[in-house]
Amino acid sequence: MMLLGLEWAFPLVLLLLPVALLPWFNNNLDKTVAWTALVPHDPLSRTISLSLKVLSSVVIAALLLAVASPAIPERTVERFGEGAEIVLLLDRSRSMDDAFAVTTQAANYSVAGDNSKRRVAKTYLTEFVKKRPDDRFGFVFFSTNSINLLPLTYSKEAILSTIEANSLGKGLSDTNLADALMNSAIMFEDQPYRGARIVLLVSDGGQLMTDEAMEQITKRYKEMNLSIYWIYLKSRQEMTLEPSENDNILYTDIPERKVHEFFKTIGVPYRAFEAGSLEEFSDAMDEIDEQQYQTLIVEELVPHEPKADWFLWLALLAMLPLASSHLYSYWGVRKAHE
């Protein structure tokens, strides 16, 4: 429960606070005197007795407040960090189950276990995420209908577990790139601009998109000032995204190149990394890592801080003179009765 800006674990204890007044209605320690008029008028004694009552009340109240276990509730603070906000777009299609960076055509179609493209992508992305303490990551579920599965979060555990889950099991039969790209942009919608915004696409192929979809994507990406990074996992070593002179005729019209062309025309920062080997993949990740250190507003979650110690200190400070005075009177009384 919240009270006075603090969160109290046992708020009901506070109902006992009136017992702090007990010392004022109490005469357990009074000495019965036959005739009070005989007691000399002593202002110092009166002050001392009054302050002892005050101290007793303070100790009782402070202890009650401490037992109610107050804490400053969990809160977010903003600080400046270095990094970026990155939405991960991992291809989950069946072809990502195939082995990565193979040289023979036959091996291309073998069912790959640990070195499937999806597993390799997981390994490097995990490393990348761990290297970037201030980044916020989001994750788009890439299927027939893409879903903004994990909205931008600072929790490394959450994003790493989502990346790990993505590497389990088999791929999906149908994926929709245009929809996924649109959804990645939506992830940044209604978010204050905190720093560099990146859509990081990791895939082994492209898809033809309708003109309408391309128009919408162009508009959105420009409006929202997004950068696109595409790590293209090559199926065949000699395939390139840029056409070259001695191109195999098979490559001239493939969807990958069309997507590449389209990304270049959007007019937002765009880099493609063609990874044909594990080193190239890791180099691509390193290069993104080096480039993306701009100022970023980082929201940090400060966990709730127990503050019972404040009241324990107060109780202690009041208790010290109180206990001393009682020990002193015990000493005095003993002396008197000797």
Residues that bind another protein (CB under 8 A): 10, 19, 22-23, 25-29, 31-32, 56, 59-60, 63-64, 66-67, 69, 141, 143-145, 147-151, 153, 155, 157-158, 161-162, 164-166, 168-170, 172-174, 306, 308-309, 312-313, 315-316, 319-320, 322-323, 326-327, 329-330, 333-334, 337
- Residue by residue, DSSP assigns 150-166 as EEEE--HHHHHHHHHHH
Residue keyed to tokens 């002050």: 47
Minimum distance, C-beta of residue 318 to another protein, in the bound complex (Å) = 9
Q: What are phi and psi of 294, to 5 degrees?
A: -100, 170
Ramachandran area for residue 138 (φ above 0: left; ψ -120 to 50: alpha; else beta)? beta
Nearer to another protein, 243 or 306 (CB): 306
Nearer to another protein, 130 or 264 (CB): 130
Minimum distance, C-beta of residue 27 to another protein, in the bound complex (Å) = 7
CA dist 250 and 24 (Å) reads 97
Closest by CA to 177, choosing from 255, 120, 246, 240, is: 255
Query: In DSSP terms, which residues pair with 270 in a beta bridge?
Result: 228
Nearer to another protein, 56 or 184 (CB): 56
CA dist 8 and 276 (Å) reads 58
- Residue by residue, DSSP assigns 228-252 as EEEEEE-SSTT--SS--TT--GGGT
Tokens of 199: 């859509």
Residue keyed to tokens 């290069």: 287
Nearer to another protein, 63 or 181 (CB): 63
Tokens of 177: 């790139």
Minimum distance, C-beta of residue 48 to another protein, in the bound complex (Å) = 15
Q: Cα angle at 51 between 45 and 57, to 5 degrees?
A: 140
Nearer to another protein, 174 or 300 (CB): 174
Nearer to another protein, 15 or 107 (CB): 15
Minimum distance, C-beta of residue 327 to another protein, in the bound complex (Å) = 5
Q: Is 215 exposed, middle or buried (0-12, 13-18, 19+ CB in 10 A)?
A: exposed
Minimum distance, C-beta of residue 129 to another protein, in the bound complex (Å) = 14
Nearer to another protein, 116 or 162 (CB): 162
CA dist 81 and 299 (Å) reads 9
Minimum distance, C-beta of residue 162 to another protein, in the bound complex (Å) = 5
Minimum distance, C-beta of residue 200 to another protein, in the bound complex (Å) = 18
